Amino acid sequence: MKRRDFLKSASAVAATSAIAAPAVFSPAKAQSRAETLLIVSESGPNNLDIHGVGTNVPGYEVSWNCYDRLISHEMKTVDGKAYYDKDKFKPELAEDMNVGDMSATFKLKKNAKFQDGTPVTAKDVKWSLDRAVTVGGFPTFQMAAGSLTKPEQFVVVDDNTFRVDFARKDRLTIPDLAVVVPCVINSELVKKNATEKDPWGLEYTKQNTAGSGAYKVASWVAGTEVVLERNDAWVGGPLPKVKKIIWRIVPSSGNRRALLERGDADISYDLPNKDFVELKSAGKLNIISTPYSNGIQYIGMNVKNPPFDNLKVRQAVAYAIPYQKIMDAVLFGLAKPMFGAPADAATQVAWPQPHKFNIDIAKAKALLAEAGYPNGFETTISFDLGFAGVNEPLCVLVQESLGQIGIKCTINKIPGANWRTELNKKVLPLYTNVFSGWLDYPEYFFIWCYHGKNSIFNTMSYQSKTTDGFIDGAVTAAATGDKANYEKDVKGFVDTAYADMPRIPLYQPYVNVATQKNISGYQYWFHRRLDYRTLVKG
Output the domain CATH number for residue 236: 3.40.190.10
CA angle 309, 304, 366 (to 5 degrees): 10
Are 343 and 483 found together in one domain? yes
Q: Is residue 160 part of a domain?
A: yes
Tell me the pTM: 0.86
Per the structure, how many domains does the chain have?
3
Query: What mean pLDDT is predicted for residues 129-141?
Result: 96
Query: What mean pLDDT is predicted for residues 301-324?
Result: 98
Sequence-separated (6 or more) residues with CB below 8 Å from residue 502 = 300, 301, 303, 314, 450, 460, 462
Are 403 and 505 found together in one domain? yes
What is the domain extent for residue 118?
Answer: 86-191
How far apart are alpha carbons 355 and 351 in whole angstroms?
Answer: 11
| Percent of the chain residues past pLDDT 90, beyond the cut | 90
For residue 25, what pLDDT band results from cuts at 50, 70 and 90? very low
pLDDT above 90 for 270: no
Q: Phi and psi for 24 in degrees, rounded to 5?
A: -70, -30
DSSP code string of 381-439: EEEEGGGHHHHHHHHHHHHHHHHTTTEEEEEEEE-HHHHHHHHHTT--SEEEEEEE-SS
How far apart are alpha carbons 301 and 303 in whole angstroms?
Answer: 6
Are 365 and 262 found together in one domain? no
Output the domain CATH number for residue 409: 3.10.105.10
Q: Is residue 334 part of a domain?
A: yes
- How distant is the alpha carbon of residue 244 from its chain centre? 23
For residue 14, what pLDDT band results from cuts at 50, 70 and 90? very low
pLDDT at 7: 32
How far apart are alpha carbons 501 and 311 in whole angstroms?
Answer: 8
